[in-house]
Amino acid sequence: MGLLDALTGRHQVKGPAPDRLFAITTAYVTLQSAYEIAPAGVAAIVFQALQTSDFEATIKDMEAVVRATGGESATQVATQDDSYGYRWMVLRNPAGAPSVEDLAVGINAVSSSIETAGHGERLLCSVFAFADAKGHPIYFIYNYKRGFWYPFVPAAGDQQRSTERELQLKAQLSGELPMEPELERWFPLWGIPI
């Protein structure tokens, strides 16, 4: 933000950064083969749902598009609002055939139709769910404003996270996934519905 913007208090919400969403489609291979972290077959995109008729129409269209494009893998779509007023559009592969590629394509279809409708700045993040060998959930979160990924590993207890595990994952995937360099922007998402 420039000096003039600061002086005039003019502030625009940033649109999405250059898209690095598809980095997950190569990184998950490493996760699976080297670290026994398997995709859970679920991903979600989180955004602010504007309470306007044209935005609702955009969302309806999106759902239809995702259902249509996910035809072969039979991706299911569900939406829900969380307690913060953000909308989660959850894409789920049928059990037994988790495909990160299909999910990434579906998520990308949703984000690009929101952008095409002129609401790109409403996108918050995407979340891809994984599970380690013991079945503990591991999430990879993609921040649209920054164009970076970061891991999020909830730990036992109320609102606890395993920072150690997250830092290990950062080291393990540093060559594969563009990681958020500023650790203070590794914002947790509590109560992830996937």
Partner 1 sequence: MAVTSHKRGAAFGKDTGLQARMLFTMFLLVVLYIVLIGALFAVGASGVTILVVALGLLAVQLFTSDKIAMGTMGVKEVSPAEEPELHGIIERLCVQADLPKPRVCVMEHQMPNAFAMGRSQKSATVCATRGILQLLSPAELEGVLAHELTHVINRDVMVMTLASFFAMVASLIVQFGFLFGGGFGGGYGRGSREAEEAMFVAIAVAAVVYAISFMLLRALSRYREFAADRGSAVLTGRPSALASALLKISGTMERVPGRDLRSVEGMSAFFIVPARAKNSLMNLFADHPPLEQRLAALERLESQLQGTA
Q: Which residues bind partner 1 (CB under 8 A)?
A: 1, 6-14, 48, 50-55, 57-58, 61, 64-65, 68, 83-86, 113, 116-119, 121-122, 124-125, 143, 145-146, 158-159, 182, 184-185, 187-188, 190
In the complex, the smallest distance separating the C-beta of residue 157 from partner 1, rounded to whole angstroms, is 10
* Closer of 26 and 52 to partner 1 (Cβ): 52
Residues 6+ apart with CB under 8 A from 88: 44, 45, 46, 79, 80, 81, 82, 193, 194
* Closer of 38 and 65 to partner 1 (Cβ): 65
* Closer of 146 and 170 to partner 1 (Cβ): 146
In the complex, the smallest distance separating the C-beta of residue 95 from partner 1, rounded to whole angstroms, is 27
In the complex, the smallest distance separating the C-beta of residue 191 from partner 1, rounded to whole angstroms, is 9
* Closer of 9 and 96 to partner 1 (Cβ): 9
